[in-house]
Amino acid sequence: MLGTASAVPFSDRNPSAQALSVHGRLYLLDCGEGTQQRIRQEHLSFVKIQAVFISHTHGDHIFGLYGLLSTMSLYHRTEPLQIVGPEGLGAILDFFKAEFGDGLSYELQFTPVSAESPQEVYSDDYIRVQAFPLRHGVPCFGYRIEEVVGQQRNPWKPRSYAYCSDTAPFPELATWVAGVDLLYHEATYTSQYADKAKQYLHSTTLDAASCALRAGAGRLIVGHYSSRVKDISVFEAESRTIFADTTAANDGDIFEITR
């Protein structure tokens, strides 16, 4: 967990970003402000990042992207970088390349997403990724990531992870993340602020936990906390009233995905 705050960062929490490690490869989920600093603090490698998956173009999910892309070039990256995200992200990347891309040492390869139901958007030798639409104020997508199992490399059952960024609750979501081993679901608000969640198209702790229960997820992680709530333990306690195996994430937490 690189960042677990929402739009307003805490003094000890950064905006949304996660790093998923699969057999030595790294995949980024969102890239809020300060992500490259958090990568350094967690002793992760810039050159091992295979792809970046952006949920939507609100600033707390992308303001760290330009700095990250520039730093990768300073590290003399030569391998193309895959970036997956909503169609509107394309113009943002075009601006970066036009204004800051002189001498960029690697190719940016952008895959626009406009799915109205789960759709495969990325695959390599290690993972397959489906994007699915979320309910937010701008085009926004979640990602379901399935481990690729080779006959010799990985003689175990594939593991799965789902990343549900900013979203109001809706019935289809539980179906789209059904059976995942580990589910991340934003819980911006505690139940006390359910009116705010509805107003801004976000989820509460109870919304996230209900989705995990209906989906039959193995475990639930909540995050993307509103700065209105100072005691993070409330997010975990409320979620556990519906889904017992819930953890309220902190920046720097590491979760092993197991079946």
> What is the distance between the alpha carbons of residues 34 and 154, in angstroms, rounded to a whole number?
34
* pLDDT higher at 156 or 192: 192
The mean pLDDT value for 140-155 works out to 81
Tell me, what's the pLDDT at 12? 87
pLDDT in tens, 27-83: 999 999 999 999 999 999 998 999 999 999 999 999 999 999 999 999 999 999 999
Domains with residue ranges and CATH for the chain: 17-248 (3.60.15.10)
pTM of the model: 0.96
d(CA 191, CA 167): 15
| pLDDT over 70 at 15, yes or no | yes
Q: Is 47 helix (H, G, I), strand (E, B) or coil?
A: helix
DSSP string, 16-40: SEEEEEETTEEEEEEE-TTHHHHHH
- Of 61, 60, 80, the residue nearest 72 (C-alpha): 80
What confidence tier does 87 reach under pLDDT thresholds 50, 70, 90?
A: very high
Residue 152, pLDDT score: 53
pLDDT greater at residue 207 or residue 8:
207
Catalytic residues: 60
In the chain, what percentage of residues exceed pLDDT 70? 97
For residue 157, pLDDT over 90 is answered with: no
Is pLDDT of 9 > 90? no
Average predicted confidence (pLDDT) for the chain: 95
Confidence of residue 8 (pLDDT cuts 50, 70, 90): confident
Residue type (1 letter), 141: F
* Cα–Cα distance list, 129 to 27, 124, 163, 177, 228 (Å): 11, 9, 11, 12, 34
Is pLDDT of 214 > 80? yes
Query: What distances in angstroms separate CA 143 from CA 176, 199, 238, one per listed residue?
Result: 10, 24, 25
State the pLDDT at residue 10.
83
Q: State yes or no: pLDDT of 110 exceeds 70.
A: yes
Task: Yes or no: say if 120 and 128 are a contact pair by the CB < 8 Å rule.
Answer: yes
Indicate whether 150 pLDDT > 90: no
Q: What is the reported pLDDT for 11?
A: 85
